Structure 1
Amino acid sequence: MKRLLPHPALSAMLLVVWLLLANDVTAGGVVLGGIVALILPKFTRPFWPDRPRMRLGRSFIGYLAIVLFDIVVANFQVAWLILFRRNRDLRARWLVVPIELSTPEAITMLAGTISLTPGTVSADVSADGRFLLVHALDVADEAAEVARIRARYHARLQRIFA
């Protein structure tokens, strides 16, 4: 089975993305997307020597729920800032978030999560992988914001990628 599907999650994602890009579910589209989803992971297999170990249970579903909730809330917060506060009193800050994630995939997921949330963007990861530089649009207390990022995302990613 590993020979046919070296990365089953990647194959499933490729098929779904193929169908979404086609914007139409037809038999031919499913067949062609399935062929691409089977062949592409085989060609990219040498670039993925070790698959990341993830726990895809309740921890992952809880993480997704929190991220989606935070994205919705942050959209309203940024809209309020733009509509009512404009440039007055914005407290844009650079935050240095210490990270203790052991895999590049976990660090990438943390950086991506932060960038997906409106009002924040991950700018850089330190060379040793122990710090993440984040730009935040409006921060009253830098230490509290770093603690919030670590509590909401970092701690959960440590459990998922343990």
Structure 2
Amino acid sequence: MRRAYQWLFPHPLLTLLMAAVWILLQNEFSAGMAVFGLILGILIPRLTAQFWPDRPVQFHAGRMLSYMVVVIWDILVANVQVAWIVLTRPNSKLRPAWVVVPLDLRQPEAITILAGTITLTPGTVSADLSDEGHSLLVHALDAPDPDAVRDEIKHRYERRLKEIFA
């Protein structure tokens, strides 16, 4: 039964997400749109499953929801902080820095989520991933202590992603 379930739904969360996006794109909800969205949500992941050979085996969706809450909160706080910096400090008082963040993560999906999180948070941008995938280069708009930026990324985001993709 488990193999049949995995064959039909290789990415169950992606199936639901695609169905929801289809309904939102249609800008109206009807039973036909919901059924067609589910059909697309089943067929597209099934047809592309062969291109995802190393998908994560264990993924904790509940922890991912709490991670999303943390990220949204951090984005809101960082927006206010960056606005304050831009409005109150002259450019000469900014302390930009390049920060190398060593990674404990090894799954490409987790590293991608971490890099995206850093880039989505105002004031930081992930600029490069080392060839081996062992470190991430991050630019911070104002970082008087680059080590603190590195430690915050590792503690606030990477630690949680390691739990999600355990």
Fold match (TM-score > 0.5): yes
Is 1:55 the counterpart of 2:52? The answer is no
Q: Which residues of 2 match residues 24-43 of structure 1 at below 5 A?
A: 24-43=28-47
> The residue matched to 2:126 in structure 1 has which SS?
strand
In 2, the alpha carbon distance for the partners of 1:156 and 1:6 equals 24
> Cα deviations across residues 85-131 of structure 1 (Å, max 9, x unaligned)?
25241212111101011211111111111111111111111011110
Residue 9 of structure 1: which of 10, 13, 26 is its match? 13
The letter for the 1-side match of 2:157 is: Y
The letter for the 2-side match of 1:68 is: I
Query: Residues 74 and 32 from structure 1, CA distance in 2 versus in 1: closer, same or farther, beyond 3 angstroms?
Result: same
In 2, the alpha carbon distance for the partners of 1:118 and 1:23 equals 30
In 1, the alpha carbon distance for the partners of 2:83 and 2:103 equals 29
In 1, the alpha carbon distance for the partners of 2:30 and 2:92 equals 52
In 2, the alpha carbon distance for the partners of 1:71 and 1:109 equals 14
Is 1:145 the counterpart of 2:140? The answer is no
> Cα deviations across residues 6-53 of structure 1 (Å, max 9, x unaligned)?
211111111122222223223332232222111111110111123312
* Residue in 1 that maps onto 2:100: 96
In 1, the alpha carbon distance for the partners of 2:10 and 2:147 equals 43
In 2, the alpha carbon distance for the partners of 1:158 and 1:4 equals 28
Number of residue equivalences? 161
Higher normalized helix content (fraction of residues):
2
In 2, the alpha carbon distance for the partners of 1:131 and 1:119 equals 19
Sequence identity (%) = 52
Query: Residues 87 and 22 from structure 1, CA distance in 2 versus in 1: closer, same or farther, beyond 3 angstroms?
Result: farther
In 1, the alpha carbon distance for the partners of 2:90 and 2:150 equals 24
Residue 116 of structure 1: which of 112, 115, 120 is its match? 120
The letter for the 2-side match of 1:127 is: D
In 2, the alpha carbon distance for the partners of 1:134 and 1:7 equals 31
TM-score by length of structure 1 reads 0.91
In 1, the alpha carbon distance for the partners of 2:64 and 2:12 equals 17
The letter for the 2-side match of 1:97 is: V
The letter for the 2-side match of 1:37 is: G
In 2, the alpha carbon distance for the partners of 1:87 and 1:21 equals 42
> The residue matched to 2:100 in structure 1 has which SS?
strand
5+ unaligned residues in a row in structure 1: which ranges?
none
* Residue in 1 that maps onto 2:159: 155
In 1, the alpha carbon distance for the partners of 2:97 and 2:32 equals 50
